[in-house]
Structure 1
C-alpha cells in the first residue's frame, strides 16, 4: 500500500510505502517544541519506504533526530533519524488524515499538565521498554 501526503502549501509531497513500524504519540519536550503542539502524533516508517518531492529544510533537534519541514510554508513533516534507519511522519500531513491512529503514548513523564489521556492506550513514562 502507498499513502501520500504533503505540506500546507503543496510544495512538498511524499509517498510512504508499506505499513508503518509503529504509530505513536510522543509527549517529550523536544517534540512539543519542534511541533508547536502538545505532542507529536507520527507513523514511523523505514526511510527507504519514503519518497519526497519538493524543497525541504532540516533542523538538528538532537544528536539523533533532524526535524524536516517545507522551506516555503514551514509545515513540519518528519522526524528523521540521523542514523538512516527511520522517519516519523506527522499523521495530520497524510492526505487521508485518518489513515493511522496512535496505538500508544510515549514520554508521558513530560506530558503537558492540561492534556488528559483517557483513550485507553498504553502509556510509557519514557520510551517503550526493550
Structure 2
C-alpha cells in the first residue's frame, strides 16, 4: 500500500478534537498526549500517508508519512526476547513527527522497563490495551515501530525486503539462534561494540 493515499489506508482520519488543545490547566504529566505521535491531527496537517499499521484486534491504528525508516534493526537482547516472546525484535526507527495514532493515546497501555511502571514516561514500551499487541518502543527522540503490524498488501515480501529489511543485527552475542543472512552483526549496540560473523565469532578486524 506504499504511496496509496486514496482511501486504501482505512476509514477517514479523525478531525482534531477540543481535547487536543493545550490549556493553561493542562499538567505537565499530561502534555505528552498533545505531542507526536499521540496528538490527533487532520490528514492535511499530517501529510500524505505512506504506511498504516494496526494491532491484532484493530483497536489501534497508526499512520506514517515517511517512505522509509531512518534505520531498521534486528535486536537479539534478552529484554527483547522476553518482551516479545520471540527470538529477536524487528524494529524500524522513525521520527515521532513521522507518525500519529488515529485515536491519540486512547486504547494504549505503557510499560517502562527502567522503573517497572505502567505510568507514561520515556523510554516506554507501547501496547494495545485490549489485545496487548506490542505497538512500538518510544524513545526520547524517536519511535521504534514493529513492521509486522504494517499492511504491506500483496507485495509484502517486496516491501519488507526493499524498505524495512534491517541493515544490521544488534546484541548478537545474546542470540538464541544464528541468522545466516550475511547482514552486519554487532555484539552489542551498532557502531559501539564488536562486529561478529553469522556464527557469532568476533571478527579480527572489527
* Aligned equivalent of 2:147: 91
Following TM superposition, by how much is the alpha carbon of 1:30 offset from its aligned partner in structure 2, in angstroms? 1.2
Q: Could you say what secondary structure the match of 2:82 adopts?
A: helix
User: Quick check: 1:34–1:67 contact (8 Å CA) kept in 2?
Assistant: no
Normalising to structure 2: TM-score of the pair?
Answer: 0.58
Following TM superposition, by how much is the alpha carbon of 1:42 offset from its aligned partner in structure 2, in angstroms? 1.1
Following TM superposition, by how much is the alpha carbon of 1:53 offset from its aligned partner in structure 2, in angstroms? 2.5
Q: Could you say what secondary structure the match of 2:181 adopts?
A: coil
Where has structure 1 moved over 4 Å in runs of 4 or more? none
Which structure: greater strand fraction?
1
Q: Distance in 2 between matches of 1:30 and 1:117?
A: 19
- Report the aligned-residue RMSD: 1.6
Aligned counterpart for 2:64 among listed residues 11, 16, 34: 16
* Aligned equivalent of 1:129: 191
Flag structure 1 segments of 5+ consecutive residues without an equivalent: none
Which structure: greater helix fraction?
2
Higher RCO (Cα < 8 Å, 6 or more apart): 1
Q: Distance in 2 between matches of 1:67 and 1:101?
A: 22
Aligned counterpart for 1:69 among listed residues 85, 102, 127: 127
Q: Distance in 2 between matches of 1:107 and 1:65?
A: 19
* Aligned equivalent of 2:181: 119
Task: Output aligned runs, 1:26-37, within 5 Å.
Answer: 26-37=75-86
Flag structure 2 segments of 5+ consecutive residues without an equivalent: 4-49, 116-121, 193-206
Following TM superposition, by how much is the alpha carbon of 1:65 offset from its aligned partner in structure 2, in angstroms? 2.8
